[in-house]
């Protein structure tokens, strides 16, 4: 689908001309952004000051994949939460790590090491690129950083810039400082996303 963007100087507005009728998702998105349909001109219009400069990217994010991506994220997030919650319950009350001081004296114990994990990916495939476009279009940019929060019925998903490259994705998981439950939860999220054609991997770390 191609979009022609025309500036109407007389009315101080912007007109969008589509080469084919937008689907329901695109129409809903246009309305939510403040665009209105002009039957006489068969275009969508808005005041220039309210025009979204990245409207083409926003519309591409709705190109037959928007609903599917949301459903996949929600399903993967639910699976991640379930796996992490189960592992937390399994580890609670156990002693798997002993903490000693410099002299070898035991000073504490932990059910698990402290740490966390992210899903990491690079926008180098059509599916991965569509994911980035979708979250940027539908998520809320945090403003102070390259971070977007996308709300779903299964909780929020946070996407950030990965370093040195790529992106990180973090679904909502049970609150814990334990590394293993978080890593296994993210692993379940990654597997669910990859089963739908995305290309991600799990990155874990120690605090």
Contacts of 141 (CB under 8 A, 6+ apart): 147, 148
pLDDT of the chain along its 207 residues, tens only?
789 999 999 999 999 999 888 887 788 889 999 999 999 999 999 999 999 988 988 887 766 544 478 889 999 999 999 999 999 999 887 766 666 667 677 555 567 888 999 999 999 998 899 899 889 988 998 876 789 999 999 999 999 998 888 999 999 999 998 899 999 999 999 999 999 999 999 999 998
Cα dihedral 150/151/155/158 (nearest 10): 20
Identify the sign of the CA torsion 28, 62, 38, 48.
positive
- Model pTM above 0.85: no
At 99 the pLDDT is: 62
3-class SS of residue 160: strand
The answer to whether the beta carbons of residues 159 and 132 sit under 8 Å apart is: yes
**The tokens 């973090």 sit on which residue?**
170
Identify the sign of the CA torsion 179, 184, 189, 195.
positive
At 151 the pLDDT is: 93
At 4 the pLDDT is: 93
């Amino acid at each position: 689908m191609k979009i022609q963007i025309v500036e109407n100087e007389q009315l101080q507005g912007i007109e969008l001309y589509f080469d084919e009728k937008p689907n329901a998702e695109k129409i809903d998105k246009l309305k939510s952004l403040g665009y209105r349909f002009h039957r006489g001109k068969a275009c969508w219009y808005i005041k220039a000051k309210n025009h979204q400069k990245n409207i083409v990217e926003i519309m591409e994010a709705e190109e037959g994949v928007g609903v599917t991506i949301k459903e996949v994220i929600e399903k993967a997030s639910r699976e991640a939460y379930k796996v992490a919650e189960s592992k937390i319950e399994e580890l609670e009350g156990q002693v798997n790590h002993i903490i000693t001081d410099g002299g070898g004296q035991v000073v504490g114990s932990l059910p698990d090491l402290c740490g966390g994990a992210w899903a990491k990916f690079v926008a180098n495939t059509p599916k991965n690129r569509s994911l980035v476009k979708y979250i940027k279009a539908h998520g809320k940019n945090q403003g102070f950083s390259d971070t977007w929060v996308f709300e779903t019925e299964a909780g929020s998903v946070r996407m950030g810039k990965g370093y040195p490259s790529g992106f990180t994705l973090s679904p909502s998981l049970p609150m814990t400082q334990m590394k293993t439950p978080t890593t296994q939860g993210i692993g379940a999220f990654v597997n669910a996303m990859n089963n739908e054609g995305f290309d991600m991997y799990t990155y874990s770390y120690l605090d």
